[in-house]
Amino acid sequence: MRTMPPARQPAVPLSPLRRTLSIVWALVPLCTFGIATVAIMGSAAVRLPRLSVRLAAVGYGVLFVAVMIVAPTPEELPKEALRNDIAMWTWFGSQWIIGTIHAFRLRSEVFRPRLPVAVTYPSPTSHYPATLPPESSSPRGTSHPAWDPWGTDSAVSPSFSDALGEIGPYRLLRRLGQGGQGTVYLAQSRDGRQLAVKVLHARIPGGMAERDGFMREALAAQRVPPFSTARLIDVGVVGDVAYIASEYVPGVSLERRVHDDRPLDGDGLTRLAIATAAALRGIHSAGIVHRDFKPANVLLGPDGPRVIDFGVAKALDRATMTSGGFKGTLPYMSPEQVSGGPVGPESDVFSWASTMIYGATGRLAFGGSTQYHVINLIMTYHPDLSVLPYPLRGPVAASLDKNPRNRPTAADLMVAITR
């Protein structure tokens, strides 16, 4: 197995604040006439644990002590002028001049943001299946990419190398799926845990604002309650490559289950509706909008349905500063999504209803022959809901209202279904 070289801090441009602080830090030896050089080099050795920097810090410390020992006292100056000159020039040459130059050479590395490391959580109890599922053809005459339980579009070629190696603290064992957002790998952490690592295709710019925005938005998913969702473990950026590590949920997606077997029966669909509405309730309570809720993002695990891939789209938008275009999967988008309007939790509720119709019929609720046709159906068409079990008809009908203000919340759906 080919492995990646040990990660070093990438050449990331410093933010204006970090650049200013780095200059002030590097000027300290000059402004203190070398007195603070040992402290400055010591801080550099802590920040940059390289042997050369550590040796330099020790060297400055030894020279500091040596000069203090060699320098004559004021009473000895008339007789020890030569010792005084040697001590003075050694001090100014090493601690003052060379120390200042050295600090300026190291300032960018010292103030460059550190790459994130893994967050420690209890080990997941689930394991990956021994083999990958085969590719499947499109369900019931509709064009659809190869099966991917992580909700990506395999028609898009990944930009991250398929050569397995390491990313951050994780060893990549094998590729599970790939698509529009990223490539998902079976990975192993340094303590032996197995999890799913999604390496995103979109490159994260070097600016601190973009990186901080991505990390903040992606890590917000840790606030989501773990019931009915795949728990987020870690988020990181190595160079300009971002990754998201999460709990793996064994089992096929709702999309695969309906395609390979058959649509869900009334009780099975009702249980699915309650569990996924509860998942959306937890996601929305954390202030997150999924924006790509669909059958491929609902995994049927051994302990019940799990919703995955929530919060990734907004994190990528924040990091890459992208705007415009569709952010989601067209047949499951809400009217406000396809029209470019503001997207909130109500949009996820509309997508949930479209997903329930697929689960009951194996057909798209808005299955047009062209992109324009699909958009027109989403904006104007009202699907036939007589195929749904009775407890779901009212909630799904309300969720498909074209006006987002008229739709129920995820909490309302749970109450309405179980009433």
Q: What is the residue whose two structure tokens read 């009908």?
A: 397
Partners of residue 187 on adjacent β-strands: 172, 195
Please report, for residues 9, 326, 366, 381, the alpha-carbon distance to residue 377 in angstroms, rounded to integers and kept in the order given.
50, 16, 6, 5
Residue length, the chain? 419
Closest C-alpha to 153, from 387, 360, 330: 330
DSSP state, residue 95: I
Residues contacting residue 265 through CB under 8 Å, at least 6 positions apart: none
Number of helices (H), then strands (E), belonging to the chain: the values are 14, 8
Pinpoint the alpha helices (H) of 194-253: 208-219
Partners of residue 196 on adjacent β-strands: 186, 246
- Distance between CA atoms of 64 and 92, rounded to whole angstroms? 11
Closest C-alpha to 141, from 259, 299, 252, 264: 259
Closest C-alpha to 365, from 375, 378, 376: 378
Whether 292 sits among the annotated catalytic residues: the reply is yes
Catalytic residue of the set 292, 303, 309, 348: 292
- Distance between CA atoms of 159 and 416, rounded to whole angstroms? 44
Residue 43 CA to chain centroid, in angstroms? 30
Please report, for residues 155, 201, 308, the alpha-carbon distance to residue 318 in angstroms, rounded to integers and kept in the order given.
24, 15, 20
Pinpoint the alpha helices (H) of 266-339: 266-285, 312-320, 335-338
Burial class (CB in 10 A: 0-12, 13-18, 19+), 301: middle
Strand order of the β-sheet with 232-238 is: 166-167, 170-178, 182-188, 194-200, 241-246, 232-238
Question: Which DSSP helix (H) or strand (E) runs through 238?
Answer: strand 232-238
CB 278 within 8 A of CB 227: yes
Give the residue numbers marked as catalytic.
292
